[in-house]
Structure 1
């Protein structure tokens, strides 16, 4: 894996920051993108520009995404792995969450990710010689099962899952582009107190967030990112990559429910064929 060139979005904190640091420590080169480059001033002073390039980027602006990828290609010559991580979360019930919060979340988590995805694929195909690359999408186990109080976040990740599966199916195998949906469970990155909070709704009981804020029952993000780094070195990385015991349990339970419903109501699809009009 050493010697690969990464482009990481949302590199100021959480998985993005840790992936940037992990790749650098393994000897790789990184293009770290974020809205406020000063957040990486410490890393910039530790690593030379021949190994780390920090760029300002708002992924919701397609022209900025294009410029960032162009700057990365000009600086390093190619990009091998894109860690499409930039995102946010909104806490609150579906009923009562202000429209502007939910729409802004979709703009960032879905459309921002789409901007990066399409630009990454173009770069892997058109600029890399030989062609190829690996797009890693930051999804979530909440993109497999909708969780209460983060329903709009789940919605953005459900949408990203569908778009990414379709994108992966559209790619010509000769382009040698790999796509992975990273589906982590709860990792204590210290960012669970961040995000946007909808105003409390009087009809809903307010949840106890103390365990979430202190990391109780969560996984270690440093170990998690190392696992993602190892996965990125596979010759044939998976399309779906659940990470964390809670993610495994969530996705396994969802798969069992879907299979049970399919089997229970299979008979309801009998006789629904369209009769020939010939």
Structure 2
């Protein structure tokens, strides 16, 4: 996304917990077009400083791509609690930190005339879940729930738009750097093993370059969708979740409607 934004002539404030990893971008573009900032999203004060630096340098920010994330491959029962909590610190609390400061910045710095767009990276697993990715999926469900609620709270006059990007599996480094834990004996040969095999890069067909190009194009629209699936497996996840909820609504509608006071 950073390279795509810059190649299209825009200014990019590229944040990373490891800024040297992006340092090779600076000499490729005219001075002032790219600003590298160190940012640990789990530290709210870091987020505040990043936005303050952006304001001091450019005056405003039009689009925020809230993208930090990590993953764990393990069954729910076999995931160490301390590891799961660290994942939530990044995937949920980190995302929430950026989200809150983004909204404040758009409202109070940009103002209603400029407003702003928040691109919220979630996941197809935040819609449908996935074996051996339980805590990752849970963190993305949490981001989805927080974001859907936030959207209801925003006042229209603030001119702030939010889009949740919900990709399926993409061939990115997260596949190889994610923490993995062998299954407990009881889970050996289960569906989690298929997930572990399926997370091998050569098994994943999702093209992140094509996906992010599509995201960039949609982000230019005057009106953003709240949900943006990416990849055929994301569509499958959508349809599976829709079918599951529709069946539950049909099967239990009569019973559910009885749970009210008769007066």
Q: Which runs of 5+ in 2 are unaligned?
A: none
User: In 1, distance between residues paired with 2:154 and 2:68?
Assistant: 23
- The residue correspondences of 1:87-106 to structure 2 (distance < 5 A) are 87-106=69-88
| Structure 1 equivalent of residue 229 of structure 2 | 242
What TM-score comes out, normalization by structure 2 length? 0.94
For residues 201 and 174 of structure 1, do their structure 2 counterparts lie closer, same or farther at Cα, with a shift above 3 Å needed? same
User: In 2, distance between residues paired with 1:90 and 1:210?
Assistant: 14
Determine whether 1:52 maps to 2:34: yes
CA contact (8 A) 1:98 1:198 kept: no
CA contact (8 A) 2:62 2:114 kept: no
What TM-score comes out, normalization by structure 1 length? 0.89
Per-residue CA distance 1:6-52 (angstroms, 9 max, x = gap): xxxxxxxxxxxxx0011111111100001111101111221244100
For residues 73 and 171 of structure 1, do their structure 2 counterparts lie closer, same or farther at Cα, with a shift above 3 Å needed? same
User: In 2, distance between residues paired with 1:43 and 1:126?
Assistant: 31
- The residue correspondences of 1:219-234 to structure 2 (distance < 5 A) are 219-234=206-221
- The residue correspondences of 1:116-135 to structure 2 (distance < 5 A) are 116-129=98-111, 130-135=113-118
Per-residue CA distance 1:73-122 (angstroms, 9 max, x = gap): 11111100100000100110100211111011111100000000010001
Out of 162, 165, 170, which is 2:145 matched to?
162
Root-mean-square deviation (Å): 1.4
CA contact (8 A) 1:140 1:183 kept: yes
User: In 2, distance between residues paired with 1:36 and 1:272?
Assistant: 53
| Structure 2 equivalent of residue 201 of structure 1 | 184
| Structure 1 equivalent of residue 16 of structure 2 | 34
User: In 1, distance between residues paired with 2:80 and 2:182?
Assistant: 8
